[in-house]
Amino acid sequence: MQLTKPPPPLFLDLLKNATVLVVDDYQGMRTMLRNVVKEMGIARVDTANSGKDALHLLSQGKYDLVLCDYNLGPGQNGQQVLEEARLNKYIGLACIWIMVSAEKSSEMVLGAVEVKPDDYLFKPINQAMLETRLQRLVTRKKVMAEIGAAVEEENYLKAIALCDQRLQEGNTQPQELLRIKSQLLMTIGAFDGAQAVFETVLKERNVPWARVGMGKVQFAARDYASARMTFESVLEENRMYMEAADWLARTLDAMGEGEQAQKILEDAARRSPNSAARQKSLAETAYRNGALDVAQAAFEKTIKVSEFSSHKNPAAFTGLAKVLSDQENPERALRVLDQSRKEFPNNPEAAIQMAAAESMVYKNMGDTAKAEAAMAVAEQVMSQLEGKVSAEVAMDMAKSYFKLDKKDRAAELLGNVIKNNHENIELSRQVEGIFEREQMGEAGQELIEKARQEVFGINNEGVRLANAGKFKEGVELLRKAVHELPTNQVIILNLAGLLIAQMSREGKDNAIAAEVRLLIDQAVRINAANKKIHEYSAVLDRLMKAA
């Protein structure tokens, strides 16, 4: 209530032409919120009464402000609607999302959710409250908008520079900026820089996000023992800090302590059950541990949680099918795979995974002919993809071949996984695990070692030729290697580096620059968290701009 009407605040001018969406399953609340917004002078207000309805409207991509109730009755809740809207880019970074709720829950305040709304508003809501909050959010959005835009175009170095600039200006939440900066540094693989940020923050105050950050740096340095201690200590103080739980499980897995990892994930999934990624890690860990009941429940929950989401993952379906097959329920396993085919109609990698899973189910049923036919389908799709499949897909195929006793093809596939990821220790360990389960541990180790040495050899030879000034020969060698190992990021980036070095020696060349850009794109698709990607792309820009 305002007795002496103040002049309309400046920010309302910015919002006057905004388009607003109000989402609530109660008619009364919808009307109330719409009226409050209209009172503020905003003319364009739409309403939706369910998550599905809201997503349909959001998909038009025209909203600047969303007021969404957390509890939307059956179907998705407000958080899930937000996650899907962000994931599908229905809302840009400039859109303000306010979650309305009856009360604060621990899921909202702690690290339980990854995608957060801009603010929470707790009932009862009045106009004065909404106006003060909006004023604050509009100002904050403006400060963050440029950083957000740089992130959206994947120009992380620029985003980091903007963070530093804002920090110097000193009129935004400094800790929030440091948090964003540290995330960006982790994204590009600049772990030293990120660590420095975490240390600065921790000197002042013991905040959990910075401690979890330190743990991630330790994990990246493969110092698993320290990472484990860090994540455990955060969890001890804050059982609801889910990010710490997820990372602790990942660390334990890397240390080979699958049972412990499963325990941590089970506990985390009980506290915060609606994360598809967490349910899937639990399912996979439990399956590896042979805890079929836990795996089944978690795979089913993964599918259920992501049912309405475009975040659906075929591995949850194939995983469930394999569990069901191991539980001697092949009919249900095949039904799950049938359903999965309908869920992922135009996804060749999914088709391969489903065929591989189907082959396993049939083999378990004793129908070798059908099992082999399924693998023939998988091979056909793979050849359409020119062999460019993710390590996960290749390993799925290899497991099915082992089941069919076609060890040669299985070993060939796994060898390729290693050659394409010769520096990835975690993946090597997974491949080793597959061989061990086939009682072929020793042969597996030998194969892994040979595959790694082969790639190291090519790589070293390329570097040696470059150092000797023989760019042409070095480039030729690495080009051939990239062709054969299209997902080996190290080789791709070394070729890019070599081409850049050649240009800086021999002058710029548009054709070579284009090749380097393609290589950088290829590397980004594999994993953006590599400092070299961002360094090379900055050097290339400088080189091409120079006279």
Partner 1 sequence: MNQDEVSFTDLIASSVHDMKNSLNVQIDTLENVATALHERGDGESAATLGAVIYQANRMNVDLIQLLSLYKLGNSLYPLDIAENSVAEMFDELLSQNGSAMELKGIRISTDCPDDCYWYFDRDLIMGVLLNALNNAYNYTKDEIRLVARINNGALELRVEDNGRGYPPSMLTDDLTAENKGVSFLSGSTGLGFYFSSRVARIHKNGERCGSLAIENGGTFGGGCFVVRIP
Nearest CB to partner 1, comparing residues 4 and 439: 4
What gap in Å lies between CA 357 and CA 361, rounded to an integer?
6
In angstroms, give the least distance from the CB of 276 to partner 1.
23
What gap in Å lies between CA 278 and CA 465, rounded to an integer?
46
Which H or E element spans position 434?
A: helix 425-437
In angstroms, give the least distance from the CB of 203 to partner 1.
11
What gap in Å lies between CA 133 and CA 137, rounded to an integer?
6
- Beta 65-69 vs 119-122: how paired, if at all? unpaired
**Residues in contact with partner 1 by the rule CB under 8 A:** 1-4, 104-106, 108-110, 122-124, 126, 128-129, 131-133, 135-136, 170-171, 173-176, 205-207, 240
Contact of 317 with 351, CB cutoff 8 Å:
no
In angstroms, give the least distance from the CB of 428 to partner 1.
40
Residue 185 is encoded by which pair of tokens? 């540094």
Nearest CB to partner 1, comparing residues 121 and 373: 121
Query: 486: Cβ–Cβ under 8 A, 6 or more apart, which residues?
Result: 386, 387, 388, 420, 522
Q: In which residue are the tokens 């739409």 written?
A: 46
In angstroms, give the least distance from the CB of 270 to partner 1.
16
Q: Decide: residue 72, CB within 10 A, 0-12 exposed, 13-18 middle, 19+ buried.
A: buried
Nearest CB to partner 1, comparing residues 2 and 510: 2
In angstroms, give the least distance from the CB of 164 to partner 1.
17
Nearest CB to partner 1, comparing residues 176 and 343: 176
Which H or E element spans position 396?
A: helix 391-403
Q: Decide: residue 472, CB within 10 A, 0-12 exposed, 13-18 middle, 19+ buried.
A: exposed
The strand ranges marked E within 17-167 are: 19-23, 44-48, 65-69, 96-101, 119-122
What gap in Å lies between CA 410 and CA 440, rounded to an integer?
12
- For the sheet with 65-69, list strands across it: 44-48, 19-23, 65-69, 96-101, 119-122
For residue 340, the tally of other CB atoms under 10 A from its CB is 24
Nearest CB to partner 1, comparing residues 127 and 504: 127
Nearest CB to partner 1, comparing residues 68 and 110: 110
Nearest CB to partner 1, comparing residues 46 and 131: 131
Nearest CB to partner 1, comparing residues 118 and 131: 131
In angstroms, give the least distance from the CB of 31 to partner 1.
14
Q: Which of 53, 45, 37 shows the shortest CA–CA distance to 19? A: 45
Partners of residue 22 on adjacent β-strands = 47, 67
In angstroms, give the least distance from the CB of 137 to partner 1.
10
In angstroms, give the least distance from the CB of 490 to partner 1.
39
> b vs e for 122-145, b when ≥16 Cβ sit within 10 Å of the residue's Cβ?
eeebeeeebbebbbebbebbebbe
In angstroms, give the least distance from the CB of 339 to partner 1.
38
Nearest CB to partner 1, comparing residues 6 and 507: 6
Nearest CB to partner 1, comparing residues 100 and 382: 100
In angstroms, give the least distance from the CB of 173 to partner 1.
5
For residue 388, the tally of other CB atoms under 10 A from its CB is 12
For residue 488, the tally of other CB atoms under 10 A from its CB is 26
DSSP state of 266: H
In angstroms, give the least distance from the CB of 201 to partner 1.
10
Q: Which amino acid is at 476?
A: E
What gap in Å lies between CA 502 and CA 484, rounded to an integer?
23
In angstroms, give the least distance from the CB of 3 to partner 1.
6
Nearest CB to partner 1, comparing residues 165 and 460: 165
For residue 539, the tally of other CB atoms under 10 A from its CB is 17
Nearest CB to partner 1, comparing residues 43 and 109: 109
